[in-house]
Amino acid sequence: SCAWEIASVKLLTSIATRNSRVHITHATCFKTIEEARNYGFTVDVTPHHLLNVSESYNYYLDCLAKVNPPLRDNVERGKLVKALLLNLVDAIASDHAPHSPKEKSYPYLVCPAGIASIEIWPRLLWRLVVERIMGADELLRLCVWGPASILGLDNLYGRFAPGYRGNIVVWEIGFERVDGLEYSKARYTPYWMFIAGGHVKAHYIGGKLVYNKHIGFITRPKTINPFERLKGHESEH
């Protein structure tokens, strides 16, 4: 419940040391965000707590929408969106938690919690930009610059500038329905037939093209440990 979330934030204030950095992840209630901000904590929210998933599914019975923390009612969801628009949120976290279709077909009380959405959620939230509810710069702050800053990686990620990693998404704007997942092994979604605000045309990782809509995946990107890269950058200075 929201009361437990708020109590958890208050508990952290009692045990956090002075000048420590505290981040509250997956907040689902407006009061939780207010409480976190009052203490100088950073806070993120998830796409499924912002989107109207609970209206599409009986979220007390359907495992597709089972997640921790649980989905709130539409009143609380509306307050969460309000917090987003008031710039009270520092980042949006995907909370991508894939499971096999078989696992998600189990009865609600025993099926695993989690929503697989990494392939879809940017498209769904971009609708806020298309409908002029939120500016593109603000959504990019929440999805790109905000997370990089919280993790202390803002000199490697979050900007299109020399010295940065060069992860770029080429986007095509337009309304369209979500009709399934193309690439995820978790081929189920509670967002079936939701209206999205566009789709990915191309994706660059480390400055190299790895995906094109008309071709599919071109190459597997080279992975790096950004925190190791950060240590090297700091040692140079």
Considering only the top CATH level, what class is 2-236? alpha beta
Q: Is cis: bond before 98, omega within 30 of 0?
A: no
For residue 225, what pLDDT is reported?
A: 84
For residue 56, what pLDDT is reported?
A: 59
Q: Enter the pTM of the model.
A: 0.87
For residue 4, what pLDDT is reported?
A: 92
Q: Report DSSP letters for 198-237, one per residue.
A: EEEEEEEETTEEEEETTTEE--PPPP--HHHHHHHHHHH-
Per-residue confidence of the chain (237 residues) as pLDDT tens digits?
899 999 999 999 888 877 788 999 999 999 999 999 999 999 999 999 998 776 556 655 588 889 999 999 889 999 999 999 999 999 999 999 999 989 999 998 899 999 988 888 999 999 889 988 899 999 999 999 999 999 999 988 988 899 898 899 999 998 888 887 777 777 788 888 888 999 999 999 999 999 999 998 898 887 888 887 666 555 544
Beta strand extents in the chain (DSSP E only)? 23-24, 42-45, 91-92, 168-177, 195-205, 208-212, 216-217
Q: What ranges do the domains of the chain cover?
A: 2-236
For residue 192, what pLDDT is reported?
A: 84
For residue 163, what pLDDT is reported?
A: 87
Q: Is 95 a catalytic residue?
A: yes
For residue 190, what pLDDT is reported?
A: 85
Residue 9 in tokens: 């934030």
Residue from 95, 137, 154, 179 carrying the catalytic annotation: 95
Rounded to whole angstroms, the Cα distance separating 123 from 195 reads 9
Phi, psi of 3 (to 5 degrees): -60, -40
Cα Rg of the chain, angstroms: 19
